[in-house]
Amino acid sequence: MKNIYFISRSYPGFFDTGGGALMRKSQVEAFKDAGYNVIVVLPNYNSNKLKRTNQGIILIPYKINERLTYSLHSRGLIECYLNNWIKNTVKYLKNVISTNDIIFATTGGELGTLAIAGKLKLLTQCKVIFNYHDPIADTSIFNNFPTNKSTKINKNKIEAKYLKNIDIILTSSERNKQALLDKHPFISDSKIKTIYFGFLQDLFDNNILKEKSPNKIRIVYGGSFSALQQPELLIKAAKGIENVEVIYIGNHANYAPIQEFKNDCTLLPAMPYNKYVNYLQTKADIGFVSLTDEYYGACVPSKMFEYINVAIPILGALPNGDAMDIINNKKYGLASHFSDIDQLKANIKSLSNSKETDIYKQNILSDRHEWSMDQNIKQVIELL
């Protein structure tokens, strides 16, 4: 049985970061189902000792002075805040991994997993696959950098140094793929592939009846409340449209831009995931998704796949990129640029027409199985 060393910064039960960690667990389970022996390699944040669990997880020491480490990184004096973990992991795995093994490393924005994969390729000559869930933080997308760029170091140059050693590169958006090809000419189109992993678990229930609101279309936003999403765009655009009700779900109490409109919308607390999904199925007519930085056009929000999973049309305020293209080109709803509040208002008015909304829902229902993790992971297994 061939080994896969699955290298990640987080995993359910070990520095769990929500949807990303759940995605990684699903990938691991799919590899196991395909007949591979999977060893998950993670940082040990709590101890300076290497630890193995009986679930096939290796925890490699990463206990640091966070203030000092982040200061050194922001000043460009170290490549990555995970430097100590990189060194410890490479030192340990170089004597464990054989040429017949496979390294599958994944990132949600950190450089450390790419550095480990690139270094181990040179030392072991095994097959290496690197999976971009999101672009590596502080690298560029078509010469655009995130507005919150946090280090002086040239991350593009470091990214290139390690990507040269990778056999197969996976991205979660076509825009990120094209950006990587644009800034790293050494990457051939044949070694990079876009795979939308989609939703993790099929939760659609055709027998659940929608609790209709009299003469109202309910638009729901559930998720993070921050300057990156600016979910207040929804209520700003919807205010004054009589047959539309805006509902926010999450930790919004300390987010002032939403509190300003608290009399114009419904504010509900954060819900356990299953309860949230049930709410979407029974009460939501439309799901809202937003990102308000052009850089993040290279990302496809997992929220969008949640809406597809439960078959509700999508309203988007997004940068140019895959997410906007999927919504508009597949006719799953309407998405406009996050800077265009007038077009967002026009899209809300259009979606408040129930006949038009039903067309978008039928389009989603026809395609939704294409967006399941079960379907898309097959493409990865073929590459192993």
Does residue 376 lie within any of the structural domains? no
> Residue 223 domain-assigned?
yes
DSSP H helical ranges for the chain: 19-33, 66-74, 83-93, 112-124, 155-163, 174-183, 232-238, 256-259, 273-283, 302-309, 322-329, 341-351, 354-367, 373-383
Final residue in a domain of this structure, among 194, 229, 244: 194
One domain for residues 174 and 221: no
* 339 falls within a domain: yes
Residues 184 and 43 in one domain: yes
Among 162, 194, 226, give the residue marking a domain's end.
Answer: 194
Which domain, by its residues, includes 44? 3-194
- Joined together, the tokens standing for residue 324 give 């906007």
Residue 173 pLDDT level (bands cut at 50, 70, 90): very high
Give domain status of residue 378, yes or no.
no
pLDDT reading at 152 higher than 80: no
- In angstroms, the CA 358 to CA 58 distance is 49
Residue type, 93: L
CATH number of the CATH domain containing 55: 3.40.50.2000
**379 part of a folded domain:** no
Q: For the chain, what is the mean pLDDT?
A: 91
Domain-located, residue 325: yes
pTM: 0.91
Indicate the SS3 state at residue 130: strand
Q: Give the pLDDT band of residue 107 (cuts 50, 70, 90).
A: very high
Q: Do 324 and 256 fall into the same domain?
A: yes
Question: Are the beta carbons of 319 and 306 closer than 8 angstroms?
Answer: no
pLDDT in tens, 9-63: 988 888 766 677 888 999 999 999 999 999 999 999 888 889 998 888 999 998 7
pLDDT per position as a tens digit, 359-379: 999 999 999 999 999 999 999
Q: What is the distance, to the nearest Å, from the Cα of residue 232 to the centroid of all Cα atoms in its chain?
A: 21
